[in-house]
Amino acid sequence: MASPIKRIAVFTSGGDAPGMNAAIRAVVRTATFHDLHIYGISQGYEGMVNGYIERLETRDVANIIHRGGTILKTARSEAFKTPEGRKQAYEQLVAQDIDACIAIGGNGTYTGALTFYQEYGFPFIGLPGTIDNDLYGTDYTIGFDTAVNTAIEAVDRIRDTADSHNRLFFIEVMGRHSGFIALYTGIGSGAGSILLPEKEHTVQELVKVLKNGAKRKKMFSLVIVAEGHPLGGAQAIADAVKNEFDYYESKVTIIGHLQRGGSPTAADRILASRLGHAAVEGLLKGIHNQAAGIVNQEVRFTPFEEAIHNVKPLETDLLEMAEILGL
């Protein structure tokens, strides 16, 4: 039986992530291959509410696989959180005869898609696009690998100064509710300590680690702090430690949005390409209200409810390993 899906719209939502463009390209090219009409919604749900919907042709996505950010722009929409906003969004999609949407974003994006599906029965597939890697149903999210590589490159540079001046650096990386970026950056940059929201850590424990390092003639130290750490950001933790431990001169660096942009790594381009392709193929097979991901190298679809409400576990055993390696 022929698929009832003829016109698909794709959009990006929430924080931009490197590899989103590669995903858009894969969606457009796969849809075109299947003779579907494909539309781009600019500015995420905000653009859906306002009807910023335009036809995308295969050449519109040429020369973007290597570009960071998102050619479709993105937003965190307040209007779509209201029933009136969602009604308007639905009317815009109906006016353009759109049969299904592919939403690229994080947990908030999936939540919006689920609500919309529940209210209007509108078919959606989600693709995990966030540097935070905090989405259940996929081993990695699009953008995470690039963000970690960027953060590690930054820490490598800071290491030179920390070493030259015998300093203690507190380096804050992104990850609002999750420590994936901090953990992977910490391991990859050989940090002495890694502070994550998922693992309770007191200032006294950190001071103890630093004192032990100093006893072993460790001349400088790097502490990676996830921005969502309950003790506060890197500055708050540096201030708390300063009162108890003055062996090293301490400095704070917040990497911030530097780690959100930039050309995607090979891993992110390949992940995004596979998932963009899988999303269109999935819609044609009748899959909807689910998020595509890759688990153990294989494409897997996870219902939005599950993807939203389950927490992807952080490998805290890696934290123990990092502590040993950072001695």
- CA 304/CA 137 separation, integer angstroms: 9
- CA 160/CA 155 separation, integer angstroms: 9
DSSP 8-state class, residue 267: H
- CA 86/CA 98 separation, integer angstroms: 15
- Closest by alpha carbon to 109, among 13, 211, 229? 13
Specify the 3-state DSSP secondary structure of 173.
strand
Question: Closest separation between CB of residue 144 and ligand F6P, Å?
Answer: 10
Whichever of 131 and 241 has its CB closer to ligand F6P, that residue is 131
Whichever of 106 and 192 has its CB closer to ligand F6P, that residue is 106
Is residue 97 annotated as part of the catalytic site, yes or no? no
Residues 6 or more apart in contact with residue 16 via CB below 8 angstroms: 68, 69, 70, 74, 143, 260, 261
Whichever of 150 and 302 has its CB closer to ligand F6P, that residue is 150
Whichever of 254 and 299 has its CB closer to ligand F6P, that residue is 254
Of 35, 60, 132, 246, catalytic: 132
Whichever of 15 and 126 has its CB closer to ligand F6P, that residue is 15
- CA 224/CA 236 separation, integer angstroms: 13
Binding interface with ligand F6P (CB under 6 A):
15, 106, 130-132, 174-176, 227, 260
Query: Cα–Cα distances in Å, from 282 out to 21, 102, 120, 166?
Result: 20, 11, 20, 54
Question: Closest separation between CB of residue 73 and ligand F6P, Å?
Answer: 13
Question: Closest separation between CB of residue 95 and ligand F6P, Å?
Answer: 30
Question: Closest separation between CB of residue 108 and ligand F6P, Å?
Answer: 9
Question: Closest separation between CB of residue 107 and ligand F6P, Å?
Answer: 9
In contact, 127 and 142? CB cutoff 8 Å: yes
Catalytic machinery residues: 132
